[in-house]
Amino acid sequence: MLNPTHYQVIDQIAIITIDNPPVNAMSFDVRQSLSKAIDQFNSDVSVKAGILICKGRTFIAGADISEFDHLPFKDPWLPEIVQKIEDANKPIVAAIHGSALGGGLEVAMGCHFRCAIESAKFGLPEVTLGLLPGATGTQRLPRLAGAKKALDMMLSGKPINAKDAFNCGILDMIIETDLQEGAIAFVKEILDIQTPIKRLSQININSNGVSTELFNDYRNQIAKKSRGFFAPKQIIKCVEAAVELSYEDALKIENSLFLECLNSDHSKAQRHLFFAEREISNIPNKSKDTKIREINTFAIVGAGTMGCGIAMNFLNANIPVTLMEVSQEGLDRGIDIIRNNYQAQVSKGRLSQEQMEHYLKLLNGSTDYADISNADLVIEAVFENMTIKKEVFQKLDGACKPGAILATNTSTLDINVIANCTSRPEDVIGLHFFAPANIMPLLEIVRGDKTSDDVIATSLKMAKTIRKVGVLVGVCFGFVGNRMFLPYVREAEHMMLEGVSAKHIDQVACDWGMAMGPHAVTDLSGQDVFFKLNDEWEDQPDDPNYFRICKVLFEMGRYGQKSGRGIFKYEGRTAIEDPEMADIARREADELGIKQREISDNEIIERMLYAMINEGALILEQGIALRAGDIDVIFCNGYGMPRYRGGPMFYADLIGLKQVYETINSYRERYGDRYWTPAPLLEQLVAENKTFAEWSKENI
């Protein structure tokens, strides 16, 4: 490739420019060429100082993450480059625009001074990949910004703005003119007043207010905020070492812990998701010439909890929305839901009163289909009943203008049936938001048999506009997420019949990393919701054991949190184990002829997850999901699966498909083949010694 680093001299100042689009990532070619540029700079007697700057839309936005799976790293590796910059015999100033993230900020901290335009961002987001800043970042940032600020930045992974970076010592100057011109003026000022070169490795950390208690406080914080994650603990160790040890000794700890993180299953999982979330917009056989429909006006039909949550996504993106209900009473109730949701955010300091009022001004209400006739996109969010949804879509078909996208928020129903009740099935698509819709990032985009390519492309773009993770899926009962989640919950319920307490099952699931246990989830969603969901499934198993407890609780009126009692009983939102559940489970088990027994924690996890994985294999084979990674994105963004597990299909690849296959067969011997027949794809991949990831690459 062409040399990605350019060297020129202006007024005795070397301008070292990195040009590696799209984000100037520190790939091997960039590192190698930058190393040569620094050598040229050191030997160039005609220059007195240097400026490191980047072309394109951003400064160095990080390392080349794809290299992390290929050890050993090619020399020169990034820490060597950072040290080489610091060791330069003349001052070097980093001139920053866009984002200096990860390795980009580490390179900037290797420079002796830093300036940036006001819109620049700065951060060390390695923790989101299960890593720590391994190119001296854990040692340099505390020396610039102090231990506490460094910990806050590295543990959150969130970037800060230029003003904050200046105030905490990361930046030496904010440039208000052209970046290169301003940087040249800054360098001349440094030379004129003979400002000493600042080499961070030779600077002691300000230890005022830094104590053992500080680090213990952060450990306690991450035990709650980052439960189960490996990297945050290692970041704290590195900063602690930076405070207590010499730079050289602390750097050895950083190097060692970086490699531990890099080789951990956690980081492998998080890096997998990083790439999987970028791959979801890659739709096979989609023409690059597919036009995006112009979407300027939005409407939501249904002002219940879900419809209101959906509306808030658009309002939060500064997009006007018309919310429609059949009655004024229902509409007023819906608007109150939205207002109360915003008021709660104001009360918690997450939103200003002015912002709340701004969002509410973008909201319009109506009880007349004529008021949404000019909408470019209409999302139906009414009760989960096919008859009701068909009635709504027939009305939308008659009321909405040609070319409008008609979307349904159904979580399980057949979108083709809904589409075919209109005269324009090509304009119909599923947009399955996850509750609470204004918070959960996942959006399943469900294409019907006749959904046009431009409707799909427009929906994918719309998802990004409202900051959702949009994953394209096909039509089947429950689509991808709910279809796979039902076997997970099914096994959790069946183990209750076998004598395991709901509390213990949920605790095992949470210890594995799930945000909530399966029974807490069904109680939160509503036992009535799960009962009706299964009751309307035409192909549900002919099995008296199937969701037996859910059926019993529904008949008893124990709907979960909403009724104060479900599998658990509730004081407010606090779940408390209910002794009656053991009696109910025992009674039902006796009637069904199920023997109660001791079940190990390992079996609890296996049965819930392997049932889910096997269903995922069927989904892949049937083409309901495009890739195994798409399934993983769905579960880590919509079902509380921890990112450090990488999703169910990645987890299966990690532990080995042969183990999954053999374990499923062992449960088949015990329970029969109704639920425990290995998916043909799973059996095939085991025979071929391949993974779900490999199959996905071959079949996309």
- CATH number where 561 lies: 1.10.1040.10
Query: For residue 164, what pLDDT is reported?
Result: 98
Which residues have a Cβ under 8 Å from the Cβ of 145 and sit 6 or more positions away? 153, 168, 169, 170
Do 200 and 82 lie in one domain? The reply is: yes
What burial letters (b/e) apply to 1-26, b meaning 16+ CB within 10 Å?
A: eeebbebeeeeebbbbbbbbeebbbb
Do 595 and 614 lie in one domain? The reply is: no
Instruction: Report if residue 289 sits inside a domain.
Output: no
Instruction: Please check the confidence at residue 251 and state whether its pLDDT lies above 60.
Output: yes
Helix, coil or strand: residue 608: helix
Do 204 and 65 lie in one domain? The reply is: yes
Query: For residue 72, what pLDDT is reported?
Result: 83
Instruction: Please check the confidence at residue 627 and state whether its pLDDT lies above 90.
Output: yes
Last residue of a domain, one of 473, 497, 522: 473
Instruction: Please check the confidence at residue 41 and state whether its pLDDT lies above 70.
Output: yes
Instruction: Report if residue 268 sits inside a domain.
Output: no
Last residue of a domain, one of 446, 473, 500: 473
Radius of gyration of the chain (CA): 28
Do 120 and 242 lie in one domain? The reply is: yes
Give the containing element (helix H, strand E) for 444.
strand 442-447
Do 72 and 216 lie in one domain? The reply is: yes
Band of the pLDDT at 532, cuts 50, 70, 90? confident
Mean pLDDT of 598-624: 98
For residues 693 and 696, what is the distance between their CA atoms, to the nearest angstrom? Answer: 5
Query: For residue 1, what pLDDT is reported?
Result: 54
Query: For residue 435, what pLDDT is reported?
Result: 87
Do 140 and 218 lie in one domain? The reply is: yes
Residue identified by tokens 């109506």 is: 366
Instruction: Please check the confidence at residue 428 and state whether its pLDDT lies above 70.
Output: yes
Query: For residue 535, what pLDDT is reported?
Result: 83
Instruction: Report if residue 290 sits inside a domain.
Output: no
The token pair at 682 is 């799973």
> Alpha-carbon dihedral of residues 347, 351, 352, 355, nearest 10 degrees?
-130
Do 158 and 184 lie in one domain? The reply is: yes
Do 452 and 503 lie in one domain? The reply is: no
Query: For residue 2, what pLDDT is reported?
Result: 75
**Which tens digits make up the pLDDT trace of 368-382?**
999 999 999 999 999
Band of the pLDDT at 168, cuts 50, 70, 90? very high
Do 376 and 442 lie in one domain? The reply is: yes
Mean pLDDT of 360-365: 96
Instruction: Report if residue 157 sits inside a domain.
Output: yes
Give me the percent of the chain exceeding a pLDDT of 70. Answer: 100
Give the Å distances, CA to CA, from 180 to 157, 165, 413, 500: 28, 19, 57, 67
SS3 content of the chain, % helix, strand, coil (to 5): 55, 10, 35
Instruction: Please check the confidence at residue 508 and state whether its pLDDT lies above 60.
Output: yes
Instruction: Please check the confidence at residue 560 and state whether its pLDDT lies above 60.
Output: yes
Query: For residue 209, what pLDDT is reported?
Result: 78
Which CATH number does the domain housing residue 698 bear? 1.10.1040.50
Which CATH number does the domain housing residue 143 bear? 3.90.226.10
For residues 470 and 442, what is the distance between their CA atoms, to the nearest angstrom? Answer: 6
Question: What's phi and psi for 297, nearest 5 deg?
Answer: -125, 135
Give me the residues paired with residue 473 across strands.
446, 625
Angle at 560 between CA 529 and CA 516, to 5 degrees: 90
Do 381 and 497 lie in one domain? The reply is: no
> Which of the following is catalytic: 126, 277, 588, 615?
126
Reduced 3-state DSSP string for 17-77: EECCCCCCCECHHHHHHHHHHHHHHHHCCCCCEEEEEECCCCCCCCECHHHHHCCCCCCCC
For residues 129 and 700, what is the distance between their CA atoms, to the nearest angstrom? Answer: 25
Which residues have a Cβ under 8 Å from the Cβ of 568 and sit 6 or more positions away? 502, 503, 519, 520, 523, 575, 576, 577, 578, 581
Domain that holds residue 247: 5-262
Instruction: Please check the confidence at residue 57 and state whether its pLDDT lies above 70.
Output: yes
Do 467 and 501 lie in one domain? The reply is: no
Overall number of domains in the chain: 4
Instruction: Report if residue 311 sits inside a domain.
Output: yes
Query: For residue 388, what pLDDT is reported?
Result: 95
Do 244 and 330 lie in one domain? The reply is: no
Mean pLDDT of 522-543: 88
Last residue of a domain, one of 445, 473, 501: 473
> Which of the following is catalytic: 86, 106, 254, 606?
106
Band of the pLDDT at 540, cuts 50, 70, 90? confident
Give me the residues paired with residue 15 across strands.
8, 51
Which CATH number does the domain housing residue 459 bear? 3.40.50.720
Mean pLDDT of 482-491: 97
Angle at 86 between CA 80 and CA 89, to 5 degrees: 120
Contact indicator for 102, 132 with CB cutoff of 8 Å: no
**Which tens digits make up the pLDDT trace of 191-229?**
999 999 999 999 988 887 788 899 999 999 999 889 999
Instruction: Report if residue 291 sits inside a domain.
Output: no
Instruction: Report if residue 526 sits inside a domain.
Output: yes
Query: For residue 54, what pLDDT is reported?
Result: 98
Band of the pLDDT at 537, cuts 50, 70, 90? confident
Query: For residue 98, what pLDDT is reported?
Result: 98
Give the amino acid at 595. K
Residue 106 a catalytic site member: yes
Contact indicator for 519, 526 with CB cutoff of 8 Å: no
Other CB atoms within 10 A of residue 246 CB: 12
Residue 254 a catalytic site member: no
Handedness of CA 397, 400, 406, 411 (dihedral sign): negative
Mean pLDDT of 520-529: 93
Band of the pLDDT at 363, cuts 50, 70, 90? very high
Mean pLDDT of 417-438: 96
Which residues have a Cβ under 8 Å from the Cβ of 662 and sit 6 or more positions away? none
Query: For residue 74, what pLDDT is reported?
Result: 87
Instruction: Report if residue 292 sits inside a domain.
Output: no
Question: What's phi and psi for 198, nearest 5 deg?
Answer: -100, 105
